[in-house]
A and B are shown apart, each in its own frame.
Chain A
Amino acid sequence: DTEVTQTPKHLVMGMTNKKSLKCEQHMGHRAMYWYKQKAKKPPELMFVYSYEKLSINESVPSRFSPECPNSSLLNLHLHALQPEDSALYLCASGQGGNQPQHFGDGTRLSIL
């Protein structure tokens, strides 16, 4: 299995809701990533987990809370989001070094 799977594909939520995005990979990659991508812009790194531990947090607001339950799963918990948080959220996995990242299809998030 050489894919990164993200669920749900689309999510609409109000500013007071709590929801979670899920990501799964079975390639044995030691690093997993969350990116935010706005239209016509490059992916913007949010978090990196390496060996199931949070290694990078790019000063992301606390209304986004990542979690890595095991080496294959990555979650992003959302709470009290703002309209400007509407974007495509991408998950990726990789080995670092001279190895590329593998991306999921993303979750398109809309905040009402």
Chain B
Amino acid sequence: AQRVTQPEKLLSVFKGAPVELKCNYSYSGSPELFWYVQYSRQRLQLLLRHISRESIKGFTADLNKGETSFHLKKPFAQEEDSAMYYCALNLNTGGFKTIFGAGTRLFVKA
């Protein structure tokens, strides 16, 4: 079955601490994975996609097919990183379906 799992509902860290938001997926096809972020009172927006292998706002995410994971990492968290983060999987079917994880709320304390 196709599934995206984010095991932590809430992650609270101090400013300047490293942060890792976990994402595991289950999919028999070739995964197309994304991290989306929803800041307070803002629209849901793309943060990262695995294919571009870039760093956005200091965040990186590496696809590990062996562990079926796509964890989001940042070495030094900032207060403005506080938001809701969703891991998502595009299914390679004709229906253009995306499966979202349950989300992790990141709270960065001063």
Contact = CB atoms under 8 A, between A and B. Distances in A.
Contacts of B44: 43, 90, 103
Q: Size band of the B side of the interface? A: 20 to 34
B95 A105 contact: no
A13 to B, nearest CB: 23
A100 B49 CA distance: 8
Interface of B: 32, 34, 36, 43-46, 49, 51, 84, 86, 90, 92, 94-98, 100-103, 105
Given A97-B90, A98-B32, A103-B44, A31 B100 contact: no
Interface residues of A, number: 25
A71 B76 CA distance: 43
A104 B95 contact: no
Contacts, number: 57
Nearest to A55: B95
Interface string A2-44: 0000000000000000000000000000110100000011110
Interface string A33-59: 100000011110100101000011000
